[in-house]
Amino acid sequence: GENVEQHPSTLSVQEGDSAVIKCTYSDSASNYFPWYKQELGKRPQLIIDIRSNVGEKKDQRIAVTLNKTAKHFSLHITETQPEDSAVYFCAASIESGGGNKLTFGTGTQLKVEL
């Protein structure tokens, strides 16, 4: 099955700096790569996703890049703010003839310090 590795497990940045979180996946058939943000005690919420037919996608201060050849994808957050502090999860999806079986990374605890 699919295996997703995520690094780093913790990341501390100064407010205004950029943060980068990296993930690798094992199954070349994966074609959907979402990123979720989870605040303490809350549910995971989608912040951005990318499909395998594009290499980069941007939404305001958040961007995701995908390298299919190397089987890795990254989340970039620019001009970080204290409200960006949370756990971020990457995931990859394998087609299963129905449904969307996501395999998640183990998460990155991002702390934005004032």
Partner 1 sequence: NAGVTQTPKFQVLKTGQSMTLQCAQDMNHNSMYWYRQDPGMGLRLIYYSASEGTTDKGEVPNGYNVSRLNKREFSLRLESAAPSQTSVYFCASSEVRLGRATDTQYFGPGTRLTVL
Q: Does 12 bind partner 1 (CB under 8 A)?
A: no
CB of 54 to partner 1, least distance (A): 13
From 43, 60, 70, 114, residue interacting with partner 1 (rule: CB under 8 A): 43
Check: CB of residue 89 under 8 Å from CB of residue 75.
no
Q: Does 49 bind partner 1 (CB under 8 A)?
A: yes
Q: Which residue in 17, 56, 95, 113 binds partner 1 (CB under 8 A)? A: 95
Q: Which is nearer to partner 1, 22 or 78 (CB)?
A: 22
Of 78 and 103, the one with the shorter C-beta distance to partner 1 is: 103
Q: How far is CA 68 from CA 18, 30, 39, 77, 98, in A?
A: 24, 9, 29, 21, 23
86: its two tokens: 């949370």
The count of other CB atoms within 10 Å of the CB of residue 80 is: 21
Q: Which of 24, 37, 44, 66: binder of partner 1 (CB under 8 A)?
A: 44
Cα 3 from Cα 30, distance rounded (Å)? 10
Chain contacts with partner 1 (rule: CB under 8 A) = 1, 6, 9, 31-32, 34, 42-46, 49, 51, 89, 93, 95-107
